[in-house]
A and B are shown apart, each in its own frame.
Chain A
């Protein structure tokens, strides 16, 4: 077992950290307030090779693994969970197409996404199909060389700025086996945006309703076989959980840094509050939980990079890291007292961002179901 980061990982960390410091930190607080998303930030990350990290070089990616990917995602999330999610969501269609797409689909759609020149999106959830994604009702009817798509999708991240959107729709009977995946492009007639959700946090990241009215999608835009869509989506989500867990690490790391700084600088009763044991114990728990979660995330990434089964471990990483981030950000607000509650410090924003990580990419209840089922069948620990 080797805990030393590789030279590539160290370089990735420094490169990302520098970009984030110069380009994201200066604008993040104001943009969160106004809900402004800047595609040029994704383009800037793309120029550094950070928007297609796990994609093969021949499709414009960096040809690296998830162990490297999570380093960059964590660094971005230290400043802005919204931009880290944006990179992860732009990554989803790339990963899906590279694994299950035709050569034509790969060469046409992946390179612009990997370069950050185009933004990607992924659309699965519906009003009635959240945790129970297999019950989705958006329909795709085959008509000759194309499909006609109708329905309404919910919670689609950055659908308003995406040029390539992977969308799951029903081509067959009820249940998961009747679902297929399609590549939709911005501007297809009948593809429009509904409302933008007003959320608790993560305002830079726009959460959109996607409306489909007789959208004609060429049959060559179907990814994989008919009925394979659910499997495709789930496989992508298993990997996606590792990246969401990395987002949680970044959010928690900043919350802990701010708390530790404050414990050194703030004095009450004649000494820095960090010299009071109550505060020390809080910091000790925060640091221990962050490091434990980081190890779980790294292990899930290592399993994936080595072609081993990783779905349960990815769920564990996502569950532990996002619950940890919620707790650390909440405690960080508490450690800063009244100051932590104001927007003069970033921790209240981080706390609002942490909450959504417990919901996306499979709620933490779904993660528990996955882990619980696997554990129930396991005989040795």
Chain B
């Protein structure tokens, strides 16, 4: 984008180089075997990219939403699974600890998350509460001595659940929808287990699982922020998640468009490159235009976020718009690009079938299309949205 700073352009080059050398040769196999590229996290840590949004005084890169979205786009253009796990680690866990944790919590968790020695994740969604996130039922009850909480309940669809060490988890500490508190949950705590791992259509090299709490005792020192005071920071981070995950959709779409363009140039049928046929040109032109439109919206949102030019519900609406359009665009572009490649698009030798499978995940993760439309419409209609 025209407004990228020199620093952001440098970051883009660095991440592109990283993706090419560390991810490209491994992803097809990891996708097939449902593996996880843990080494990539060590390398991202060495490059200082895991704490991309973490302030410099806390050991991070001190960058904003534009830089993060760029990093995710570049990783996702090669390996969307690693991009998704990177987002869960850096935005959903690391960024939240840095933003909301106290000095003690930062000292305990940040160093190992910044180097990638520990993998982080976040626990919000539950089996019965997806789009209806505030309907969560995991309960945290304070012990009589006030020194700890006992957690019961379960979380589902947790990115990095099966491979992570640290989870930034939400639980109810009261009866109302808004009584939400946050707890740092560490792998190995008594009463905490990671439940089952899901087999998925795509994003297969980004492990997704459950987090299960059965009388899990968590010391009061692991509560982040005040009791019942997490709602606002949970919602604000969802906005940042939505802006930056749009970068993943952009990267996926770009990879598909590049593959289809090369193919349309090289493939001959009826004695001409298929790119010389009008309908193929039309498809490519549409795909490229939608990609650019989503890219402009997403980075413009990221820039406004970084400069404090969109806040509160306005920010939630804009983030929802960027994510809704980008996610739908990536699946649509993915399907079209498979079709341009015909039979070759359906086999694993070309990356477009994987791109499409990965793209579909983003239409449900980080807020389904449906709930994003609700957020947008409510902001547009105000009182008029309630029946």
Contact = CB atoms under 8 A, between A and B. Distances in A.
Interface in B187-214: 198-202, 208
Given A268-B129, A338-B365, A130 B360 contact: no
Contacts of A129: 269
Interface in B249-305: 268-271, 279
B162 interface: no
B343 A125 contact: yes
Interface stretch (B16-24, B115-123, B231-239, B346-354): B346-354
A130 B130 contact: no
A146 interface: no
A192 interface: no
Contacts of A197: 347-349
Contacts of B342: 130-131, 359, 363
B201 A348 contact: yes
B368 interface: yes
Contacts of A358: 339
A23 interface: no
Given A330-B360, A365-B339, A342 B200 contact: yes
B347 A199 contact: yes
B363 interface: yes
A155 interface: yes
Give the dominant DSSP class at B's interface. mixed
B373 to A, nearest CB: 7
B346 A338 contact: no
A367 to B, nearest CB: 12
A136 B74 CA distance: 40
Given A132-B270, A199-B347, A359-B345, A364 B364 contact: no
Contacts, number: 119
B39 interface: no
A368 B279 contact: yes
Nearest to A360: B343
Interface in B112-171: 125, 128-132, 135, 156-157
Residue among A279, A333, A368 facing the most chain B CB atoms (10 A cut-off): A333
Interface residues of A, number: 45
Contact of B343 (A340, A348, A351, A359): A359
Contacts of B269: 129-132, 135
Given A197-B347, A200-B348, A326-B335, A334 B130 contact: no
Contacts of A207: 347
A342 B279 CA distance: 34
B67 to A, nearest CB: 28
B97 interface: no
A33 B199 CA distance: 10
B135 A269 contact: yes
Contact of B198 (A130, A268, A343): A343
B268 A268 contact: no
B133 to A, nearest CB: 10
A344 interface: yes
A57 B339 CA distance: 40
Residue among B338, B349, B364 facing the most chain A CB atoms (10 A cut-off): B364
Contacts of A267: 128
7 A-B pairs closest in CB distance: A348-B201, A200-B353, A132-B269, A343-B199, A198-B348, A268-B132, A338-B157
Given A269-B131, A278-B373, 12 more contacts: A135-B269, A200-B347, A268-B131, A268-B135, A269-B132, A278-B370, A334-B364, A337-B368, A338-B130, A355-B356, A365-B279, A365-B339
Interface of B: 32, 125, 128-132, 135, 156-157, 198-202, 208, 268-271, 279, 331, 335, 338-339, 342-343, 345-349, 353-354, 356-357, 360-361, 363-365, 368-370, 373
22 contacts: A130-B342, A154-B343, A155-B343, A197-B349, A199-B346, A199-B347, A200-B347, A201-B346, A268-B135, A333-B201, A333-B364, A334-B364, A334-B369, A337-B131, A338-B125, A338-B156, A341-B201, A341-B360, A342-B199, A343-B201, A344-B199, A351-B360
